[in-house]
Amino acid sequence: MATSSHAISPRKLRSDLYSYSYQNDSNTPLVIAVLASLIERTMARNERIVKNCTWALSKDTRTRVFDCHETPDLTIQSYLERIFRYTRAGPSVYVVAYVYIDRFCQANPEFRINARNVHGLLITTIMAASKYVEDMNYRNSYFARVRGADNKCNEQAGA
């Protein structure tokens, strides 16, 4: 699991959420590092659960929603930075996307975030959050290109 070199304080995160400036192209919002960390911890927990489970459903290999046949060779942090670089979605979009992920997981307790579905889940929730939060938005086809996965994977996710 990758760790960020950023020191994350509540004051810095709050400042980043409410006063982020798009003029400084070198820095991504701190909320991206926070979201990446939360998702990585969730994935690690889910991997431990699946590894320790003895019942058949935990080892189910069926393709599920957001699954992609090949996992992108990007860390969660890098993938979120890629999405930010191409969409310039504001920090609040990532917060709303995390709320969507949390609600989706609560409504679907059998769903486990893993390496096969995390990228599709992130781009889809960020796209939906962007359309809810932002004044100007990109088309779904643009988000599919930002996703960077093959067309079959994009069609599966509906991006």
Query: Tens digit of pLDDT for each residue in 90-117?
Result: 999 999 999 999 999 999 988 999 998 9
Instruction: Count other Cβ atoms within 10 Å, centred on residue 2.
Output: 10
pLDDT band at 142 (very low <50, low <70, confident <90, very high): confident
In 3D space, the residue among 83, 86, 70, 79 whose CA is nearest the CA of residue 36 turns out to be 79
* pLDDT of 153 higher than 50: yes
Question: Measured between alpha carbons, how far is 127 from 53 in angstroms, rounded to an integer?
Answer: 33
Residues 127, 143 contacting (CB under 8 angstroms)? yes
* pLDDT of 63 higher than 70: no
Residues 83, 28 contacting (CB under 8 angstroms)? no
* pLDDT of 144 higher than 90: no
Q: What is the pLDDT of residue 26?
A: 55
pLDDT band at 121 (very low <50, low <70, confident <90, very high): very high
CATH, range 28-58+68-157: 1.10.472.10
- For 59, the token pair is 């080892």
Instruction: Count other Cβ atoms within 10 Å, centred on residue 154.
Output: 20
- For 71, the token pair is 């996992």
Q: What is the pLDDT of residue 100?
A: 97
* pLDDT of 3 higher than 50: no
Q: State whether residue 157 is helix, strand or coil.
A: helix
129 vs 47, residue with greater confidence = 129
99 vs 86, residue with greater confidence = 99
Q: Provide, rounded to the nearest whole percent, the portion of the chain with pLDDT above 90.
A: 42
Q: What is the pLDDT of residue 19?
A: 58
Question: Measured between alpha carbons, how far is 153 from 81 in angstroms, rounded to an integer?
Answer: 20
Q: What is the pLDDT of residue 70?
A: 72
Q: State whether residue 100 is helix, strand or coil.
A: helix
Instruction: Count other Cβ atoms within 10 Å, centred on residue 88.
Output: 14
Q: Provide, rounded to the nearest whole percent, the portion of the chain with pLDDT above 70.
A: 68
Residues 133, 92 contacting (CB under 8 angstroms)? yes
